[in-house]
A = this chain, B = another copy of it.
Amino acid sequence: MSPALAGVFCAAATPLLPDLSPDLDAFATHCRALITDGCDGVALLGTTGEANSFSSDERRTILEAALAAGLAPSQLLPGTGVANIPETVALTRHALSCGVTTVVMLPPFYYKGVSDDGLFESYARVIDGVADPRLRVILYHIPQMTGLAIGHDLIARLLAAYPDTVIGIKDSAGKLENMEAMLARFPGFSILAGADPLLLPLRRMGGAGCITATSNLVARDLAFIFRHAQDPAQEAGVAAAQARINAYRDLSNSYVQIPAIKAMIARRHGHPGWALTRPPLLPTTPEEQAQLVQRLDQIDANHPGAPA
């Protein structure tokens, strides 16, 4: 049973103007570049996209900018989950009104120690509130930020109640064994890795793909791995792609990750505005940016990545 949704999706970062409003032109350029790189789609307005640092109005504008940039609605997987249900419903309805049917949905993330019953009821109220048979939901498991777990029994209940709607999970917890267990228990469920090093082993197990931050920079390598993970003839190319991805990821993770990713995108597009972040995240310092550029030059020299 093949997953409902599969591919390499970019957890796109969001560029900012000097007043920290979204830079919609730069975002449009970036979205098009990601597709050219080989992304199957753009998972905008996630954690890397600083979604929860934007108002609901700004989030709508950012999604509309991606569509205006020429991306197809089917290529967009916006995050629509906020801490409260009415605005999660409204953001999800907005996506559907734009023809975008698949969304990545955080659980309501303010309260901790919430029961599975409470999380089930939350997702159920959103899905019932949206009340649109086109809706497809990717659950978003990122306990590092939410303090909540989307466990397997909760998934089973959601799949039983909404078999046509709940189609997958973005697992950003970074544990391959969790993805392996979900693959075994939920055939056809789209398991998307949130961490770049896990795309390869996940694909080899039959996982659906990834939604990662590093794909803002090395989507071509991720796309190569996605296509060739199980092809012994491409083992060397896969290894080269993975080496480049890992080098980029290790570099970003040696700083605060999201600002570092944005500084790296600033270098990529030659657009310093990309390095800006919204508080509570702060941009990398000019010293860090200079250091990052130097290290990226070294990585690019040492790691050519996937074969052309």
Interface residues, chain A, CB within 8 Å of chain B?
A: 47, 52-58, 82-87, 90, 107-115, 117-119, 121-122, 125, 144-145, 147, 256, 278-282
Contact A280:B108 (CB < 8 A) given known A82-B83, A83-B82, A147-B147: yes
- Of B52, B87, B108, B282, which one neighbours A118 at CB under 8 angstroms? B282
Q: Which residues of chain B have C-beta atoms less than 8 A from A56's C-beta?
A: 56, 87
Q: Is the CB of B110 within 8 A of A279?
A: no
Q: Is the CB of A282 within 8 A of B115?
A: yes
Q: Is the CB of B85 within 8 A of A278?
A: yes
Q: Which residues of chain B have C-beta atoms less than 8 A from A145's C-beta?
A: 110-112
Q: Is the CB of A279 within 8 A of B118?
A: yes
Q: Which residues of chain B have C-beta atoms less than 8 A from A280's C-beta?
A: 107-108, 111, 114-115, 118-119, 121-122
Closest B-chain residue to A117, C-beta based?
Answer: B282
Q: Which residues of chain B have C-beta atoms less than 8 A from A84's C-beta?
A: 52-55, 278
Most buried by B among A47, A125, A279: A279
Q: Which residues of chain B have C-beta atoms less than 8 A from A114's C-beta?
A: 280-281
21 residue pairs A–B, Cβ–Cβ below 8 Å: A52-B83, A52-B111, A53-B110, A57-B86, A85-B278, A107-B280, A108-B280, A110-B145, A111-B145, A111-B280, A113-B256, A114-B281, A115-B280, A118-B279, A118-B280, A118-B281, A118-B282, A121-B279, A121-B282, A122-B279, A125-B279
Closest B-chain residue to A118, C-beta based?
Answer: B280
13 additional A-B residue pairs with CB within 8 Å, beyond A53-B110, A118-B282, A122-B279: A52-B84, A52-B108, A53-B84, A54-B86, A55-B86, A57-B86, A82-B83, A115-B256, A115-B280, A118-B279, A118-B280, A121-B279, A147-B147
**What's the Cα separation between A279 and B118 when bound, in Å?**
6
Q: Which residues of chain B have C-beta atoms less than 8 A from A144's C-beta?
A: 112
**What's the Cα separation between A182 and B46 when bound, in Å?**
37
The 3 closest A-B pairs by CB, nearest first: A52-B110, A118-B280, A121-B279
**What's the Cα separation between A298 and B299 when bound, in Å?**
71
Closest B-chain residue to A58, C-beta based?
Answer: B86
Q: Which residues of chain B have C-beta atoms less than 8 A from A112's C-beta?
A: 144-145
Shortest CB distance A172–B (Å): 13
Shortest CB distance A107–B (Å): 7
Q: Which residues of chain B have C-beta atoms less than 8 A from A85's C-beta?
A: 53, 278-279
Q: Which residues of chain B have C-beta atoms less than 8 A from A109's C-beta?
A: 110
Shortest CB distance A207–B (Å): 26
Q: Which residues of chain B have C-beta atoms less than 8 A from A121's C-beta?
A: 279-280, 282
Closest B-chain residue to A123, C-beta based?
Answer: B279
Q: Which residues of chain B have C-beta atoms less than 8 A from A117's C-beta?
A: 282
Shortest CB distance A53–B (Å): 5
